[in-house]
């Protein structure tokens, strides 16, 4: 089912402070073309990765860093299946996240608004999956993990970070893991 990415982007864009929108307007304008037809946008924020200002995006499939300059564009994405963990820090003005994936780490700092760093971290944690072929045969840990993810999603919804629609979509996906 095709998702109206432009409507999703507009909804998140309206939540961004004016100075952040100003810094990432090129990235916001190009984001819809980077998403797959049925990929759902979960969260976005401004941030800096490898010294470049851009847009940090969490979808139902991956985390992306999008940087769109006048003469260049850069996209780095981290599929949830390859992410082993995430670390978040919140400072006085900005927050930061460090994503550990496939033996590497990606550090994104100057995340604004600063509350979004923790939200991104929680969304990433909620979407982490066991690597395929891990040899896990006991279904109880997977069920516990899915229940923990549902609890975290409920907390995100209750605090107003994600909408009821976003919660329902993620809940349906997680129910399939039980």
pLDDT digits (tens, 9 = 90+) for 46-88: 999 999 999 999 999 999 999 987 777 888 999 998 999 999 9
Predicted TM-score (pTM) of the model is 0.68
- Backbone region of residue 133 per phi and psi (left: phi > 0; alpha: psi in -120 to 50; beta: other values): left
Q: Which pLDDT belongs to residue 131? A: 44
Residue indicated by tokens 């190009």: 30
Which two structure tokens, joined as six digits, stand for 49? 């990765």
Q: Which pLDDT belongs to residue 132? A: 41
Residue indicated by tokens 């998702």: 3
Q: Which residue has the higher pLDDT, 78 or 102?
A: 78
Q: What single DSSP character describes residue 38?
A: T
What are the φ and ψ backbone dihedral angles of 90, each rounded to 5 degrees? -120, 120
Share of the chain above pLDDT 90, in %: 31
Q: Maximum distance among all alpha carbons in the chain?
A: 51
Contact at 8 Å (CB) between 106 and 134? no
Q: pLDDT by residue (tens digit) across 111-130?
A: 988 888 999 999 999 988 64
Q: Which pLDDT belongs to residue 79? A: 92
- Res. 98: pLDDT tops 90: yes
Q: Which pLDDT belongs to residue 155? A: 78
- Res. 29: pLDDT tops 80: yes
**Per-residue CA distances from 10 to 23, 31, 32, 97 (Å):** 16, 11, 10, 24
In this prediction, residue 145 has a pLDDT band, given cuts at 50, 70 and 90, of: low
Q: Which pLDDT belongs to residue 138? A: 40
- Res. 175: pLDDT tops 90: no
Contact at 8 Å (CB) between 99 and 86? yes
What is the rounded (10 degree) CA torsion for 59, 52, 33, 6? 70
In this prediction, residue 178 has a pLDDT band, given cuts at 50, 70 and 90, of: low
In this prediction, residue 140 has a pLDDT band, given cuts at 50, 70 and 90, of: very low
Q: Which residue has the higher pLDDT, 109 or 113?
A: 109
């Amino acid at each position: 089912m095709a998702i109206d990415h432009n409507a999703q982007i507009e909804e998140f864009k309206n939540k961004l402070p004016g100075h952040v929108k100003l810094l990432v307007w090129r990235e916001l304008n190009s984001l819809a073309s980077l998403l797959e037809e049925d990929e759902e946008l979960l969260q976005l924020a401004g941030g800096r990765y490898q010294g470049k200002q851009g847009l940090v995006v969490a979808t139902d499939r991956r985390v992306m860093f999008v940087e769109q300059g006048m003469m260049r564009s850069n996209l780095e994405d981290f599929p949830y299946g390859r992410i082993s963990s995430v670390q978040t820090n919140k400072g006085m003005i900005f927050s930061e996240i460090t994503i550990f994936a496939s033996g590497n780490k990606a550090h994104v700092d100057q995340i604004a608004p600063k509350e979004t760093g923790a939200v991104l971290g929680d969304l990433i944690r909620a979407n982490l999956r066991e690597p395929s072929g891990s040899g896990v045969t006991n279904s109880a840990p997977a069920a516990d993990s899915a229940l923990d993810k549902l609890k975290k999603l409920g907390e995100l919804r209750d605090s107003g970070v994600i909408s009821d629609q976003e919660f329902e979509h993620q809940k349906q996906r997680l129910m399939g893991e039980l």
